């Protein structure tokens, strides 16, 4: 790679590329920017000031207090629940999909092709389509209104199996596995001592996608959970917002959940995803395999 770069010259092609990119950044970025700014503003300001006016610290902290203290810190319970569901679900999906994908990629056994096909089908089936069957199943098992039930249901992550399968069948250097076998690694050690450490990027990726799916999962949680102490954030906040009438034009009530609180709630859902993305991305991009072979 050359360390010197050619001087940038503006031609039509490059201009079109940049213009398209700039448009996309604005189109998708502005609503997000608005969301974060709006979190600092009072209700009055939201209605009257220009869209990107900054709010005040007082307004923000009042909104924060209103939202968090409402109904005996209910929202903190939901956030905690969300965390439990996500951590549990992500762990379960990792435990299931990483070894699953590895086995599919690295060994030959009868039915392998069939399992791959089923994985693919399960992957493209919309998750909402199976919510009701899952509900009936968990109901039967008496798990429908429990932490374990939702975690169990969200640990099912065929996309993770497929992603891992693709990674292990394309990116694991055969020579490295062979030489570990010669070195005396048994099947289990091959997986734990060689494949798994080399799969850190894919583990991060599967964990991230699985987290994303579980953290923002509304419908499944909505169907499975009837006790509002077990709600996750999306279900809880939806219930809160519709219950408070914050977004409707009904005559004002005395519930302190108004538009600023709704905005802040949305931020609370989005922010962890952003943070986790940034953490996961670092793993995904690091070149785990350099130096193994010719390199």
Partner 1 sequence: MAAVELKNVRKSFGTVDVIKGVDLTIDKGEFVVFVGASGSGKSTLLRMIAGLETVSDGDILIDGKDVTFAEPSERGIAMVFQSYALYPHMNVYDNIAFNLKLARFGKDEIDKRVKEAARILRLNELLSRSPAQLSGGQRQRVAIGRAIVRNPKVFLFDEPLSNLDAALRVQMRLEIERLHRELGTTMIYVTHDQVEAMTLADRIVALDNGRIQQVGPPLDLYARPNNLFVAGFIGSPKMNLLPAKVLSAADGKATMGLDTSSGTKVDLTTRGASIGDAVTLGVRPETLEVVAAGAAVPAGLTALPARVESVERLGNITYAYLDGGTPEVITVQVMGHSDLQPGQEVQVGLRSDQVHVFDAAGAVMASAVGR
Taking the complex as a whole, the smallest distance from the CB of residue 105 to partner 1 amounts, in Å, to 18
Calculate helix-pair angle for 259-285, 57-106, nearest 10 degrees.
Answer: 40
> Rule CB under 8 A: is residue 184 a binding residue for partner 1?
yes
CB nearer to partner 1: pick between 189 and 238: 189
Among 171, 189, 238, 281, binds partner 1 (CB under 8 A): 189
Q: Pattern 198-237, binding to partner 1, x per CB under 8 A?
A: x---------------------------------------
Taking the complex as a whole, the smallest distance from the CB of residue 161 to partner 1 amounts, in Å, to 23
Taking the complex as a whole, the smallest distance from the CB of residue 180 to partner 1 amounts, in Å, to 7
In what helix (H) or strand (E) does residue 202 lie, and over which residues does it extend? Answer: helix 200-215
Among 175, 226, 271, 279, binds partner 1 (CB under 8 A): 175
- Give the range of 136-144, 160-168, 190-198, 262-270 binding partner 1 by CB under 8 A: 190-198
CB nearer to partner 1: pick between 169 and 286: 286
For residues 267 and 79, the answer to whether their CB atoms sit within 8 Å is: no
Among 185, 255, 266, 269, binds partner 1 (CB under 8 A): 185
- What's the rounded Cα separation, in Å, for the pair 241 and 141? 32
Among 99, 173, 245, 256, binds partner 1 (CB under 8 A): 173
- What's the rounded Cα separation, in Å, for the pair 176 and 199? 13
Q: What is the residue whose two structure tokens read 């799969």? A: 199
> Rule CB under 8 A: is residue 183 a binding residue for partner 1?
yes
DSSP E strand stretches across 25-183: none
Taking the complex as a whole, the smallest distance from the CB of residue 293 to partner 1 amounts, in Å, to 4
Q: Pattern 272-291, binding to partner 1, x per CB under 8 A?
A: ---------------xxxxx
CB nearer to partner 1: pick between 31 and 287: 287
Instruction: Report the sign of the C-alpha dihedral through residues 294, 197, 213, 60, in that order.
Output: negative
> Rule CB under 8 A: is residue 107 a binding residue for partner 1?
no
- What's the rounded Cα separation, in Å, for the pair 73 and 240? 12
- Give the range of 65-73, 87-95, 181-189, 220-228 binding partner 1 by CB under 8 A: 181-189
**How many Å separate Cα 198 from the centre of its chain?**
23
For residues 263 and 39, the answer to whether their CB atoms sit within 8 Å is: yes
292 phi and psi angles, rounded to 5 deg = -70, -50
For residues 81 and 232, the answer to whether their CB atoms sit within 8 Å is: yes
Taking the complex as a whole, the smallest distance from the CB of residue 170 to partner 1 amounts, in Å, to 16
For residues 81 and 230, the answer to whether their CB atoms sit within 8 Å is: yes
- What's the rounded Cα separation, in Å, for the pair 283 and 252? 49
For residues 92 and 155, the answer to whether their CB atoms sit within 8 Å is: yes
Residues in contact with partner 1 by the rule CB under 8 A? 173, 175-176, 178-186, 189, 193-194, 197-198, 287-295
């Amino acid at each position: 790679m050359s360390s010197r770069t050619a001087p940038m010259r503006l031609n039509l092609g490059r201009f079109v590329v940049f213009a398209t990119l700039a448009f996309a950044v604005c189109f998708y970025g502005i609503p997000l920017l608005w969301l974060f700014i709006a979190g600092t503003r009072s209700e009055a300001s939201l209605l009257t000031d220009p869209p990107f006016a900054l709010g005040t610290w007082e307004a923000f902290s009042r909104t924060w207090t209103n939202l968090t203290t409402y109904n005996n810190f209910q929202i903190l319970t939901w956030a905690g629940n969300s965390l439990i569901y996500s951590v549990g679900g992500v762990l379960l999906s990792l435990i299931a999909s990483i070894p699953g994908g590895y086995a599919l990629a690295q060994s030959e056994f009868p039915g392998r092709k069939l399992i791959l096909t089923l994985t693919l089908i399960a992957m493209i089936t919309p998750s909402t389509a199976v919510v009701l069957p899952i509900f009936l199943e968990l109901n039967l098992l008496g798990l429908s209104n429990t932490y374990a039930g939702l975690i169990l249901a969200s640990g099912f992550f065929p996309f993770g199996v497929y992603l891992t399968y693709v990674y292990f069948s394309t990116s694991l250097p055969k020579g490295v596995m062979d030489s570990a076998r010669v070195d005396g690694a048994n099947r289990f050690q091959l997986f734990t001592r060689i494949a798994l450490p080399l799969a850190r990027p894919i583990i991060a990726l599967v964990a991230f996608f699985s987290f994303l799916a579980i953290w923002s999962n509304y419908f499944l949680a909505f169907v499975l959970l009837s006790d509002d102490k077990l709600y996750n954030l999306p279900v809880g906040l939806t219930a809160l917002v519709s219950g408070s009438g914050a977004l409707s034009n009904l005559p004002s009530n005395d519930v302190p959940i108004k538009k600023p609180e709704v905005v802040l709630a949305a931020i609370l859902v989005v922010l962890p995803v952003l943070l986790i993305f940034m953490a996961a991305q670092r793993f995904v991009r690091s070149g785990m395999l350099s130096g193994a072979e010719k390199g």
